[in-house]
Structure 1
């Protein structure tokens, strides 16, 4: 058997993997919480790098759609770094994405993680946007609501929403993607139609035009019921602030504990969230993309 291999993960790899993931960050790592889900992922594959049959690295691939693959969770035992395991895992994940029919592979990296950034750029991935998480609790219940409130979009407004996104200054700067569960997928006309039908598109209309919108879904995260906003857009700070405030107000109606927003890393957006009393809850991340065909 070769000294170094990349293979699908097995249940018995758990303890060895957890051991080298204990100090990924000061607080530890999320791998223990997500291991079973990744191991049994029907839409993906968890890979393990081994040295002399000992697990020394991992990386997970998940198909977010028929054409789009997401890579995540790259970890290499500190004692085995700079030995080519990270590159080998990336290449294996890329081949698996192609085998599954993906046209694009994407992933996200903290902006200060220079070794990982250098690696993915050498592997022909390009940055398509950046974001950071913002969170906030519900706003106190108010008897009088503002006249200008975002409303749930209807299917009759789909073409108008597409036209708005096509002329948006924010949409291309985030790569035209929606985030949920730390993964991104492209916002397409078909996908938008599904989200509108699921009542997940909130649209602010002023002066008879779309002035901003947000796409959100309810999720259970970290033991809390949250409203996860994967895309937010507005023509100006005021529009984004209106939407941010209104979504906080809706948390009471929806019986949710918190709102989490994957927000574009732009001064305009940051100022809007500061004004709406949101808290930045993560570092800035860059999202990278590679076309596979």
Structure 2
């Protein structure tokens, strides 16, 4: 199908059309964005400067998860905050497609799956953990995550670029996303909706189901552990389970629901794109003694260096 798009820019309605409300939202989202960057970068720097953590596969994957959270937030939040100062919020067709591509890489889904596999091996096959979770395997899993994520995004953006946009260009949203764009296309999009579900919704549901089953196996295996060992295992698994729930519940709500629920997408995406990247570092630091101890040691080290000790 030949793309006959004549639209060169899209107009975003944003979260509110009230100037006073937008000023309040700017302050709120600025604080959230700075806290998100600070929290995720603290995790990355702490792990890199802590040899004991860096050699652990779980924390190796956590570096990439934190970088992804920082990137996801940066893909959406800065543009949204700038738009709060403009009555007419616009984005070019090229910028819209770029944001769509960056937001839909899907790397985080596979990274979370790799982290779940790491926890499964650590708890269910502890004697073989070091021989299974080698640096080579971790590198392969990260490579698969990035390759699979970008392939997913390329498929998504290729589908979108085939749609003709021949007039309507007002998006009732604060960012460019698939479903709002579908409503503007000058063609029947029912087949495209099915493709979106197959490429995004089904992937979310399938991987989420696999993760639930894997953690069911893990929890079942904990029966053989002592009380102390069970608590230690649950502390590391609990953080990951919380992050999985935060990510996949919002993903399923957005991309695996009836098309009649399009109007709820804006509210769901606020949580997925802005709140989840902020909550993830909190989950992994507040619930993890190793991370908290490593952060304290790193802070003491930097203070000592700054004072010339």
TM-score tier by shorter-chain length is under 0.3
Higher fraction of helix: 2
TM-score of the superposed pair, with normalisation by structure 1: 0.25
Q: Which is strand-richer, 1 or 2? A: 1
In terms of Rg, which structure is larger? Answer: 2
Greater length-normalized contact order (CA 8 Å, ≥ 6 residues apart):
2
* TM-score, scaled relative to structure 2: 0.24
